[in-house]
Amino acid sequence: MFLMGYGPQLLAGTWETIKLAVLSLIVAVVLGLIAASAKLSANRVARFLAATYTTLIRGIPDIVLLLLIFFSMQIYLNEITDALHLPYIDIEPFSAGVLTLGFIYGAYFTETFRGAFMAVPKGQAEAGVAYGFSRWQIFSRIQFPQMMRHAIPGLGNNWQVLLKATALVSLIGLNDLVKVAQNAGNVTFKVFLFISITGLIYLALTTVSNGVLYLLEKRYSVGVKKAEL
């Protein structure tokens, strides 16, 4: 029997981990773009809020933030349902994991995007204004493509860390790859085997990610002349 009957569960856990990582990435990218824009804005309040967000998140360990946000969300939700006399709502681990990881890594993406935006010459946006482009057209057609060329190396690093951080969500009950491997190891008394398989699966995921990032880097570097050694 394939892996003592735990093969299908490991595959299901792997798929759960991939979904968790991708959805968390989407949340992190959106938050990162918003916070980076706030840090670069002329509004002092926006800059202060964005700086507070990134400082707090980057200064506290991920596992502490995960537990803090997960349990605080549940507590506040319980207080709201009690006040409104609504039925009890239990936050599922998957949704909590997506929101929590997205919120945490949005702070890291913020600095990546901020540095990338600053690397784009201001004259590019000024040229867009001169041609009568709207603010959205300037962002989507001029700034974003050029910004991504500078951001992809940092985004790649953050994605790799985010992918590995999905293992932390098993602590709040998500039946992901790590949780399945732990359960299988405890039942079969072959903990080393299943943890090793888990490590190899994560290695395979990061290797595939490197390939995708390489293609993205080539895509956003079209027309850019590389320095000759």
Q: Which CATH number is 205's domain given?
A: 1.10.3720.10
Angle at 66 between CA 148 and CA 53, to 5 degrees: 50
Residue 229: inside a domain = no
Q: What is the pLDDT of residue 79?
A: 84
Domain assignment present for residue 197? The answer is yes
Locate 213 and state its tokens.
């990032």
Counted domains in the chain? 1
Distant-in-sequence, close-in-space partners of 223: CB < 8 Å, separation ≥ 6: none
Residue 207 falls inside a structural domain: yes
| Cβ atoms of 178 and 198 closer than 8 Å | yes
pTM over 0.75: yes
* Nearest one of 166, 148, 152, 149 to 205, comparing CA atoms: 166
Q: Is 125 buried (19+), middle (13-18) or exposed (0-12) by CB count in 10 A? A: middle
150, 119 contact by CB (below 8 A): yes
Q: How large is the greatest C-alpha to C-alpha distance in the chain, in angstroms? A: 70
The C-alpha atoms of residue 52 and residue 57 are separated, in whole angstroms, by: 8
pLDDT for residue 50: 92
Beta-carbon neighbour count of residue 181 at 10 Å?
26
The pLDDT assigned to 224 comes to: 60
pLDDT for res 1: 55
Rounded-to-10 torsion of CA 72, 73, 78, 84: 130
Tens digit of pLDDT at every position of the chain (229 positions): 567 777 888 899 899 999 999 999 999 999 999 999 899 888 899 999 999 999 988 888 888 888 887 778 778 888 888 888 888 877 788 888 898 899 999 999 999 999 888 888 878 777 888 878 888 888 777 887 788 888 888 888 899 999 988 888 888 878 888 888 888 888 888 889 889 999 999 999 999 998 888 888 777 766 565 545 4
What pLDDT score does 140 carry? 79
Residue 57 lies in a domain: yes
Residue 228 maps to a domain: no
Query: Is residue 40 assigned to a domain?
Result: yes
Q: Is residue 125 part of a domain?
A: yes
CA 62/CA 46 separation, integer angstroms = 24
Range of the structural domain that residue 189 is part of: 2-220
Amino acid symbol at 40: L
Residue 186 lies in a domain: yes
For the CA atoms of the chain, what is the radius of gyration? 21
Residue 18 confidence (pLDDT): 93
Helical spans, DSSP H, in 131-190: 135-137, 144-165, 177-188
What is the model's pLDDT at position 225?
58
